[in-house]
């Protein structure tokens, strides 16, 4: 992950230098906010954008972008937000009885390429776009018990630290994601733009909420390093009984994801005009040199 951070910083620095040297407003700086929510087992993996089981929380985003052509831009962004969920908000009876809940901070670094429907060199006040990218994010699911928050991953609530048998391996807290989205730009001023976007972050993990597969054997779970606490946070069912080993605790067939709805203010210093032919050559040389 450190190497990924350094690579992004290197490219940002090169684009910044290139943008200043060209003086044509190719480089932009942005900052913004919005709402973030997660899609996973604790909100019944709903395919609805808005549902009663989703929890919306604010996020913060900042970064730098660079205009590659009249309709394409590349951006390097940092996102920070909090996600959460609770079975108490669910509609399905078994989910309510399961009684799980969680919260987690999200730190994401991403690289995205966007395509504009209209040329940025024309006097357009509205410009729709689509984008896709790749990112690295860190998360850490926690649950509250008796007024105190506990990290869930070290507990192995689904038997990750039980020796022997077929149990899931401990999941990694740093993962790759693929942000995809759509949006629209509003040209506020020669150097200022307002952007609204919807982004769906595809992940490769089903443990954003620490819930994925099945209940482990509670006696074996109690024998692990943090056994007593692990048992209490693994089985929080309202019926007060101990579920048999192998009973579904979540749905491992669909990975978790998170979604953002937000806005950005983008500042592009310099004059916005078409570049000369040799500008593309200089840009290619910079990319190769990286």
Question: What residue has token string 């990286």?
Answer: 290
- CB contact burial 148-183 (16+ within 10 A = b; e otherwise): eebebbebbbbbbbbeeeebbeebeeebebbbebeb
pLDDT of residue 109: 98
pLDDT of residue 21: 44
Q: How far is CA 43 from the centre of its chain?
A: 17
Phi/psi at 271 (5° precision): -90, 135
99-154 pLDDT, tens digit each? 999 999 999 999 999 999 998 777 778 999 999 999 999 999 999 999 999 999 99
259-288 pLDDT, tens digit each? 999 999 999 887 656 554 344 444 444 334
Of 73, 163, 81, 157, residue with least CA distance to 120 = 73
Please provide the CATH number assigned to the domain covering 2-289.
Answer: 2.40.160.20
pLDDT of residue 119: 87
Evaluate if residue 242 carries a pLDDT over 50: yes
Of 178, 172, 166, residue with least CA distance to 202 = 178
**Rounded CA separation 240/147 (Å):** 20
The pTM of this model reads 0.84
**Can you give the residue ranges of every domain in the chain?**
2-289
Lowest mean pLDDT among 17-31, 53-67, 177-191, 207-221: 17-31
42-82 pLDDT, tens digit each? 986 555 556 666 889 999 999 999 999 989 999 999 999 99
27-38 pLDDT, tens digit each? 999 999 999 999
Residue 167 in tokens: 């149990």
Spell out the residues 6+ positions from residue 27 whose beta carbon is closer than 8 angstroms to its own. 15, 16, 18, 19, 20, 64, 65, 66, 67, 268, 269, 270
Task: Grade residue 165 by pLDDT with cuts at 50, 70 and 90.
Answer: confident
DSSP code per residue over 41-63: GGGTT--SSS-TT---EEEEEEE
């Amino acid at each position: 992950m450190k190497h990924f951070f350094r690579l992004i910083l290197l490219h940002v620095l090169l684009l910044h230098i290139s943008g200043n040297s060209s003086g044509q407003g190719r480089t932009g700086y942005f900052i913004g906010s919005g709402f973030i929510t997660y899609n996973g087992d604790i909100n019944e993996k709903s395919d609805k954008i808005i549902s009663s089981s989703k929890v919306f929380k604010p996020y913060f985003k900042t970064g730098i972008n660079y205009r590659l052509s009249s309709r394409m831009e590349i951006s390097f962004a940092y996102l920070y937000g909090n996600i959460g969920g609770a079975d108490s908000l669910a509609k399905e009876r078994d989910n309510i009885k399961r009684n799980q809940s969680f919260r987690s901070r999200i730190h994401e670094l991403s690289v995205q390429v966007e395509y504009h429907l209209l040329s940025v060199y024309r006097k357009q006040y509205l410009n729709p776009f689509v984008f896709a990218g790749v990112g690295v994010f860190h998360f850490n699911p926690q649950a509250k018990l008796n007024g105190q928050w506990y990290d869930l991953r070290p507990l192995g609530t689904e038997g990750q630290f039980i020796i022997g048998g077929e149990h899931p391996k401990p999941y990694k807290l740093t993962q790759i994601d693929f942000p995809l989205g759509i949006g629209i730009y509003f040209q506020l001023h020669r150097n200022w733009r307002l952007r609204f976007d919807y982004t769906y972050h595809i992940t490769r993990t089903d443990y954003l909420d620490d819930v994925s597969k099945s209940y482990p054997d509670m006696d074996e779970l109690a024998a692990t390093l943090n056994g007593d606490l692990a048992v209490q946070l693994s089985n929080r069912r309202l019926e007060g009984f101990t579920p048999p080993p192998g009973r579904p605790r979540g749905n491992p067939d669909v990975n978790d994801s998170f979604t953002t709805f937000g806005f950005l203010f983008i500042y592009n210093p310099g004059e916005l005009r078409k570049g000369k032919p040799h500008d593309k050559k200089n840009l290619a040389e910079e990319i190769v040199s990286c």
